[in-house]
Amino acid sequence: MEKWIPTVLFFSFLIVLTGRSQNSMDHFPKGALSMGLGNASVTLNDPWAIFNNIGALGTANQELRAIAGYDHRLGLSELTTLSTGLIIPTNNLGNLGIGISSYGGKLFNQQQVGIGIANQLGLASLGVKISYFQTNIEGFGRSAQPVFEFGGTAELLPGLFFGAHAYNITRAAISKSSKDYLPTTVKAGISYRPSEDLMLNFESEKELLTPARFKAGLAYGFEQKLWARTGINTNPNHLFFGIGFRPRRFQVDYAMSRHFLLGFTHHFSLNYNLSEP
């Protein structure tokens, strides 16, 4: 078992440098649309809200959609995340979402399977989600815990949106015998959309054991078909850039981010509308 200790320490070092020091990498926001905006996505009601803010999913279009994403961090296969999901509209309960993601390599990996429901209640969209979160470390064993989260969004004024989300509200640990906890994160933000082609987002995120980070994102659309995006984070400093293409049934997004010490990360995601003929 001792031979794996340097590898585990290396991954722990990367987790600290990339701003997630509470033993979880699979909790990163997902979808290249979010990444292109610097992950200032708490108000977005796109299908990737199943991962980023379940509460926003209540105002999503009543369409059956499938999503898939690939997140390749810092040029290392051991830091890659694969994710997929399905958004299912219901008659009375709003939108049901199912999300599956897997992060890591052979020596260290994490998997998460979650199901959530969100509905619009008056001006607000509210949602809850439960996930089964599993961590595997070669030579140390496997553990899994349930993780609960909830969130919501509201349109405060025409074109001005507010969103908030809380993750791991029960303070689940990595395992029953461990004192190391999965991240407990609270984030809130606003989005200003003066037109269908322009969006400006501001967001703040706080984990219990790390300083608060500020996120900002800007998106501009060309005829609702092609989108250009950029974003910035603090603590640590990140720059983000992204593009999106939206034909009739598909939405294809790409984003690139740069860590101030470690280099570049690439994100790809696909959103497919299964409701249209």
pLDDT at 48: 95
Q: For position 129, which CATH number holds?
A: 2.40.160.60
pLDDT at 26: 58
Taken in order 136, 141, 145, 147, the sign of the CA dihedral is: negative
Query: 208-215, long-range: CB within 8 Å, 24+ apart, which pairs?
Result: 208/22, 208/181, 208/183, 208/184, 209/21, 209/22, 210/19, 210/21, 210/22, 210/235, 211/235, 213/19, 215/38, 215/39, 215/40, 215/189
pLDDT at 199: 97
pLDDT at 76: 77
- pTM of this prediction? 0.86
Q: CA 127 to CA 1: how far, in whole Å? A: 42
pLDDT at 275: 79
Residue with tokens 């299908």: 47
* Torsion angle (degrees, nearest 10) of CA 25, 31, 36, 40: -70
Q: CA 120 to CA 152: how far, in whole Å? A: 9
Residue 255 lies in domain: 2-273
Residue with tokens 């699979």: 26
Q: Are 149 and 133 in contact (CB under 8 A)?
A: no
Indicate the burial class of 256 (C-beta count within 10 angstroms; 0-12, 13-18, 19 or more): middle
Number of domains into which the chain is organized: 1
Q: Which residues of the chain have pLDDT under 50?
A: 1-23
pLDDT at 37: 96
Contacts of 188 (CB under 8 A, 6+ apart): 42, 162, 163, 164, 165, 203, 204
pLDDT at 20: 41
Q: Are 70 and 267 in contact (CB under 8 A)?
A: yes
Q: Are 159 and 62 in contact (CB under 8 A)?
A: no
Rounded to 5°, the CA angle 253-224-158 comes to: 110
Indicate the burial class of 195 (C-beta count within 10 angstroms; 0-12, 13-18, 19 or more): exposed
- What are 60-90's pLDDT values in tens digits? 888 899 999 999 887 777 888 999 999 999 9
- Phi-psi category of residue 11: left, alpha or beta, with phi > 0 → left and psi -120 to 50 → alpha: alpha
